[in-house]
Amino acid sequence: MRLGAETTRSIRPDPGRSGFAVLDQTRLPWEIAWVRIDTAEKAARAISTMQVRGAPLIGATAAYGLALALREDASDPGLARARAMLAATRPTAVNLAWALARVARTVAALPPEARADRAWDEAEAIAAEDAAMCAAIGRHGLSLIASAAARKHGPVNILTHCNAGWLATVDWGTATAPIYAAHDAGIAVHVWVDETRPRNQGALTAFELGAHGVPHTVIADNAGGHLMARGAVDLVLVGADRVARNGDVANKIGTYLKALAARDSGVPFWVALPCSTIDWSLASGADIPIEERSAEEVTHLAGLDETGAVRRLRVVAPGSAAANPAFDVTPARLVTGLITERGLCEASVEGLARLYPEAA
């Protein structure tokens, strides 16, 4: 996958291990800009301000950030402080805590002078594994789209919510990986792209799909149910920020409503995720912490004006309160199945245990 002369991998570690660069997603889709991160504090800021977003990419960014912190202070207290600072940035996406725990566990028994390089090695492994897992998700999910194509004339219509593409991962994406695989295999697809208010991550999905040549149409969030009821959607594909042991799925706010509409309309609802997004410690989605973000993300919008300048506008009357829960939980009973790097399974304890017997 390429975007002009640039690779579409969302994170670029320095060869000298002095830092790494990430795409500034707060400036997309209007401008492609890479931001260099050379301290753990900058990594934490990039995560909290959503310069990087998407559970897998957040995890990789945090892993590199922890490695940078250990260059400054590789003592046990230094490791603990940096890990706590990075972990506090965003509470819902489990990949963050997972990646930090993995790096910390890897270096715990090493002398301080060996920790930074070993942590960097582990961060690179996390990034490489994520790209490979997303590619595998694409291969497994391709079968669903191929089956849908065999049952109809014309393109397979897929509805997405939020952005679960290469911008949200290290490469390929989760929910978009099967779409790219199908498109590249010559299967006609068309994607209904939810705008995904309040941060309009659908614009990022449209940016990705357009660069890859995949036909797509951006729609208002509330249009999805209408399209499903009219038979204009063949399947729904979304990503996840955390999946509980019983198959409950936390994803961008509004996902639950799409699952309800899909169930009522008889549309398959599939969730794509790598194993790093499964939280084996949680019995159900009721225990998943839900991030509450700034009300200004609801009361204000950013966009290009007629001159090409990015402007920020208030769209809510002054004095009106706004609430901004960033995620919701879709019960496993509404999920047709999960697409992981190991294959397809039911959204249930038994389904996950079949694919991951060592974890269950």
Q: Which residues are catalytic?
A: 241
Longest dimension (CA), the chain: 63
For residues 29 and 12, what is the distance between their CA atoms, to the nearest angstrom? 19
Identity of the residue numbered 185: A
3-class DSSP assignment, residue 50: coil
Q: Are 204 and 167 in contact (CB under 8 A)?
A: yes
Quickly list DSSP for 150-193. Answer: HTSSSPEEEEE-S--SGGGSSSS-SSHHHHHHHHHTT--EEEEE
DSSP code at position 240: -
DSSP code at position 283: S
In 3D space, the residue among 231, 199, 235, 205 whose CA is nearest the CA of residue 218 turns out to be: 205
Identity of the residue numbered 195: E
